[in-house]
């Protein structure tokens, strides 16, 4: 709803600026052009405020994982058993991951959904993807790529290995 208001106000401001510009091209200047520009400017300010609310307060179109880089260190997970085709929440140091076993393959993604911050471990497995339980975004298990929106940012993916009966992960650098 806020996004529709924001884009509609910006469109109205653009039309007002264009009409003002076209009127200024005419031979006889008047104060109407200035008033149209002033009203357009007030609309832009109002719409910019709404845009700020969308981004900073609601987190719309914000990549929650933009500053997470890849790692070189393998970290042991605090999970002992991962059943087949069931998302399991696990901790790797300070990071919370969702781990999924598909046959003999283990996949790990960051547990916080890139779309709105929900927990992917509370979602479900659909084909070769995990679906977020909140808004239905799907991420491919093997690399974290968005399969279906509303998410627009990929999910951070972790390399997984089993060593000496333990599961270890490290973040891949996909940026």
Q: Do both 11 and 91 map to the same domain? A: no
The answer on 110 and 82 residing in a single domain is yes
Q: What is the pLDDT of residue 47?
A: 95
* Whole-angstrom distance, CA of residue 175 vs CA of residue 166: 28
Give the pLDDT confidence score for residue 44 in this predicted structure.
96
Rg (CA), the chain: 24
User: pLDDT higher for 67 or 42?
Assistant: 42
Cα-to-chain-centroid distance, residue 27: 50
63 lies in a domain? no
Task: For residue 12, give its domain range.
Answer: 2-57
In-domain check, residue 138: yes
Return the pLDDT at 151. 83
- 95 and 20, same structural domain? no
Please state the pTM of the whole predicted model: 0.64
81 and 152 in one domain? yes
**pLDDT (0 to 100) of residue 91:** 82
Number of domains the chain is built from: 2
Stretch 52-72: mean pLDDT, rounded?
67
51 and 81 in a single domain? The answer is no
Q: Which CATH number goes with the domain that contains 125?
A: 2.102.10.10
**89 and 32 in a common domain:** no
The answer, yes or no, to whether residue 175 has pLDDT greater than 70, is no
Does residue 70 lie within any of the structural domains?
no
Do 110 and 166 fall into the same domain?
Answer: yes
Task: Give the lowest-confidence range in 10-19, 30-39, 72-81.
Answer: 72-81
Same-domain status, 166 and 86: yes
Same domain, yes or no: 164 and 96: yes
> How much is the mean pLDDT over the chain?
84
Q: pLDDT by residue (tens digit) across 86-122?
A: 998 888 877 888 999 888 888 999 898 887 778 999 9
């Amino acid at each position: 709803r806020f996004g529709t208001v924001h884009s509609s106000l910006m469109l109205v401001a653009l039309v007002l600026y264009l009409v003002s510009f076209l009127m200024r091209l005419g031979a006889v200047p008047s104060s109407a052009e200035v008033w149209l520009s002033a009203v357009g400017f007030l609309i832009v300010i109002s719409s910019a405020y709404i845009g700020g609310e969308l981004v900073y307060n609601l987190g719309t179109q914000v990549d929650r994982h933009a500053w997470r880089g890849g790692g070189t260190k393998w970290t042991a997970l605090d999970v002992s058993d991962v059943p087949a085709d069931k998302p399991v929440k696990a901790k790797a140091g300070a990071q919370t991951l969702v781990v999924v076993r598909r046959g003999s393959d283990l996949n790990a993604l960051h547990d916080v959904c890139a779309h709105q911050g929900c927990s992917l471990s509370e979602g479900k497995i659909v084909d070769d993807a995990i679906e977020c339980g909140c808004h239905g975004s799907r991420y491919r298990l093997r690399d974290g790529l968005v399969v279906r929106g509303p998410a627009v940012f990929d999910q951070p993916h972790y390399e997984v290995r089993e060593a000496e009966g333990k599961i270890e992960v490290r973040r891949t650098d996909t940026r």
